[in-house]
């Protein structure tokens, strides 16, 4: 089923929260709510004057979001106003923007950056801790997508879409420190894009360029392929009242002749449920300067 009449330029960052799905159209800076009615348009929530990759709800503050946007991370209030927490990519040697991002089960927010022109190895992964500290934890990524976390927050999956690879990292639940990366899946064609996990520990990923969504078992074995009538699936999540609706965004950017469903949002019923998006859970912020902990190539 197709949700809504809109066709997005670069639909991404879809999350199930507060009994509905929110998503971004990255380059237009728009945060949208997806409708239940296939004949209705998406509902605008906010529009930033910069690219908007993904958001997480803020615990206990309805209508407030933490966003991977522009060259960093900001808070977005119910009026759509942005308050910047950090802009670590302002002084990068090439023009940069934030891409995908998500909160982990412990309440931290993680977001990746990439060059506007996808310059190789220009991207990084940042972590916003609950106290407001922003730390670069990985560098030398070209197009980071995800991350996605297991339900207990002890494993993180991160795609480098340009390389066709998904890596898995052990995560210290208390500190957020990452272990040594392990290769999880390498695609022979297409690019792994947005990701999410389900309650059995399976990993779902949108496959840009193939018009598919893949589900992998925790050991990396391919379990299922879902074909979509859109060439560039980009973001996904599991939602709905029972967590068994797979919601997938797509994009028409770069296609010389987009089809009728390129840029659409799709809903597909699946067997294994997921859980709603984790919120960012702030403590009293101390507003420290950003630090750099990226010691993994």
How far apart are alpha carbons 228 and 243 in whole angstroms?
20
82, 256 contact by CB (below 8 A): no
100, 111 contact by CB (below 8 A): yes
Q: Which residues are annotated as a binding site for substrate?
A: 97, 99, 117
Q: Which residues are annotated as a binding site for a divalent metal cation?
A: 12, 145, 193
Of 129, 193, 198, 262, which is the active-site residue?
Answer: 193
Q: Which residues are annotated as a binding site?
A: 12, 97, 99, 117, 145, 193
Task: Tell me, yes or no, if 193 is annotated catalytic.
Answer: yes
Residues whose CB is less than 8 angstroms from the CB of residue 193 and which lie 6 or more positions away in sequence, other chains included: 145, 159, 161, 205, 206, 207, 208, 233, 234, 235
What SS3 class is residue 74? strand
For residue 147, cis peptide bond before it (omega within 30 degrees of 0): yes
What SS3 class is residue 27? helix
Active site residues: 193
């Amino acid at each position: 089923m197709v949700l809504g009449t809109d066709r997005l330029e670069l639909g991404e960052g879809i999350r199930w929260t507060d009994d509905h799905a929110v998503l971004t159209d990255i380059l237009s800076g728009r945060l949208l709510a997806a409708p239940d009615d296939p004949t209705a348009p998406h509902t605008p929530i906010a529009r930033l004057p910069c690219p908007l990759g993904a958001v997480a709800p803020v615990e206990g503050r309805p209508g407030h979001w933490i966003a991977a946007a522009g060259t960093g991370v900001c808070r977005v209030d119910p009026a759509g106003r942005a308050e910047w927490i950090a802009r670590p990519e302002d002084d990068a040697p090439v023009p940069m923007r934030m891409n995908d991002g998500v909160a982990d089960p412990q309440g931290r927010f993680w977001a990746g950056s990439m060059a506007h022109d996808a310059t190789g190895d220009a991207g990084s992964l940042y972590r916003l801790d609950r106290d407001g500290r922003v730390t670069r934890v990985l560098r030398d990524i070209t197009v980071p997508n995800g991350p996605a976390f297991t339900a207990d927050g002890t494993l993180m999956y991160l795609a480098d879409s340009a390389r066709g690879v998904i890596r898995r990292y052990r995560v210290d639940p208390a500190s957020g420190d990452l272990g040594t990366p392990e290769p999880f899946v390498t695609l022979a064609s297409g690019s792994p894009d947005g990701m999410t996990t389900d309650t059995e520990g399976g990993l779902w990923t949108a496959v840009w360029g193939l018009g598919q969504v893949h589900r992998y078992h925790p050991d990396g074995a391919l379990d299922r392929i879902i074909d979509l009538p859109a060439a560039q699936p980009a973001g996904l999540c599991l939602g709905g009242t029972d967590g068994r609706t797979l919601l997938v965004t797509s994009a028409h950017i770069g296609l010389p002749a987009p089809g009728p469903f390129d840029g659409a949002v799709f809903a597909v019923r699946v067997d294994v449920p997921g859980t709603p998006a984790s919120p960012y859970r702030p403590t009293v912020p101390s507003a420290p300067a950003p630090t750099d902990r990226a010691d993994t190539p």
